[in-house]
Amino acid sequence: MDSLFAQLVVLESSLALIFGLVLLWRRGVPAYVNAFTWQSIVLALVAATVAWFGRQRELYVVAALLVLLKVIAIPRLLARMERRFATERELAPYVNTATSLVVAGLLVLFGYAVMRPVVAASELPTRAAMPLAMGLVLVSLFVVVSRKKALTQVIGFLVLENGIALLALLGAYGIPLIVELGVFLDALMGFLVMQIFVYRIHETFETLDVDQLDRLRH
């Protein structure tokens, strides 16, 4: 039973990581939105898996909220922004695709290294997948700093949040539900405010290229 559980979460976490890597090799926001949506579905599946095998009923609520917020609501808003800024493709990020993938590979290895003490200390059947979640966190951080378009940065940030949620699910079967609700509320508000600013940047700079945001230097 436990080994099935362990294999399932490793499989699901690997999928989540791969959808995160899509942000590095594909160009164009629609592909990113798709990757994020699929990753959120996988994350909801992880929550449901942990809820079933780990007998944590409140995680079903978390899975349902994940579907509502990150599979339905946020991707819709993202798609709407994408249509509005259809011409704004991520054509030339600061770091090219090949280098990005190498860096991502190194980051995943680094994730394994830093998580060693945590994996060693844990007795949960889910522990084997924890380094993958840390890898996802690090890769998404890299996405945020290496991309030029405001919209891509927002998606990178959303993937970062997914990575941390995955880490919490695997490491401790989620955080207490009441705190989780606060985190969801923050995630939603934070996203909405970022969306306001993406529109504002477009209004004032007539581009989403954050390269153009260079007025404030010393």
Partner 1 sequence: MIFVFLLAPAVASALLALVVRPYRAAVGWANGALSLVAVGAALALWREVLGGRVPVAGPDDLLRADALSTLLAFCVSLVGALAAWLGPGLGDDSWDATQARRFRIFANLFVFTMLFAVTTDNVGFMWVAIEATTITSALLIPLHASKASVEASWKYILIGSVGIALAFAGTVLAYFDFSTLVGRETTALSWTLLREVAPALNPRVLELAFVFILIGYGTKAGVAPMHTWLPDAHSEAPSALSAMMSGVLLAVALYAIVRWQAVVGRAAVSPGFAENVIGLLGVLSLAIGALSLVAQRNYKRLLAYSSIEHTGLICVGLALGPLGVFASMLHLLNHSLAKSTTFLLAGRVLGRYKTAEIEGVTGLLRTMPWTGGFFAAGMLAVIGLPPFGLFVSEFALVRAGFAAGRPLTIALVLALLAVGFVGVLAHLNRMLYGPPPGGVPIGERGHWALVPLGACLAALIVLGLTVPAALDGLLVSIAGIVTP
Residue 38 to residue 42: CA distance in whole angstroms:
6
Residue at 190: amino acid letter: G
- What is the pattern of x (binds partner 1, CB under 8 A) and - over residues 182-201? xx-xx--xx--xx-xx--xx
Is residue 55 near partner 1 by the rule CB under 8 A?
A: no
Is residue 206 near partner 1 by the rule CB under 8 A?
A: no
For partner 1, which is the closer residue by CB, 68 or 118? Answer: 118
Q: Which residue in 12, 88, 90, 161 binds partner 1 (CB under 8 A)?
A: 161
At 70, list the tokens. Answer: 């990150």
**Exposure string over 5-15, b if 16+ CB within 10 A, otherwise e:** bbebbbebbeb
Is residue 14 near partner 1 by the rule CB under 8 A?
A: no
CA atoms within a 13 Å half-sphere pointing along the CA-CB vector of 5: 17
Distances (CA, A) of 130 to 56, 89, 206: 18, 33, 42
For partner 1, the binding residues (CB under 8 A) are 56, 114, 117-118, 120-123, 137, 141, 144, 150, 153, 157, 160-161, 164, 167-168, 171-173, 175-179, 182-183, 185-186, 189-190, 193-194, 196-197, 200-201, 204-205, 210, 213-216, 218
